[in-house]
Structure 1
Amino acid sequence: MGTVYVPPGWPDRVHPPGAPGWEQTATEFLLDCCPADYRGYAVLRRHPVVLAGFAAAYVEGQLTASRTGLAQVRVRLADHVSPEVVEAAAAAWHQETARLTRTRRAVALVEESLRGRVFVPRL
């Protein structure tokens, strides 16, 4: 088997589709994107494509919450902490929103691959 192309944003720790153990690495990655309690559902551990849908919904919810936190941080904290702390909190929300945006893309790519999509490089 030749080299399999994975697009930008593919998670480093997930083997390329078709590689030995790729679905296991995908499952581990997806479970790490979810609350620990999700590990208790056999259907999610046994069916990576089902897990991918759960992970996508969970990460999207986190991203929505992070965007809300970022939008409200200055107003909610202005009367309670110094301006420097408000800015540090805003920076943390901004970093978390960026991280979750990357995670959402990675989860979507893995889900697409689990559903049979083959990625090809653009020329």
Structure 2
Amino acid sequence: MAVDAGLVAWVTEAMEPVGAVTHRAMMGGATLYLDGVVFAIVDDDALWFKADKLSDARWDAAGTARFTYSMGEGRTGTMNYRRAPDEIYDDADELRRWAALALEAGARGPAKRRRKE
């Protein structure tokens, strides 16, 4: 994974009307949060939105691929993120529409555990 800084900047700018986007490095890519809720990852030059069992049907209907990665020894793993539809890359309204679905999935996810000090 690698981070496309321009893509992160585009998402941050497009999502400003909704909230503040922050990001954290993750295995060479980045995890994106909106007001503390995970909603996407960036891998190379692609945006992948958070999905879950409740939203999978909508992602399937849109024909979006599930995020996969190589685990070595010919094995692949998946994470429940879906590739963003192409139209989000030049249409902020579309980006926000799909991000809303991802934010719902992120909000339904397990609560973040706090580190013991």
User: Normalising by the residue count of structure 1, what TM-score does the alignment of the two structures yield?
Assistant: 0.28
User: Normalising by the residue count of structure 2, what TM-score does the alignment of the two structures yield?
Assistant: 0.29
Higher strand share: 2
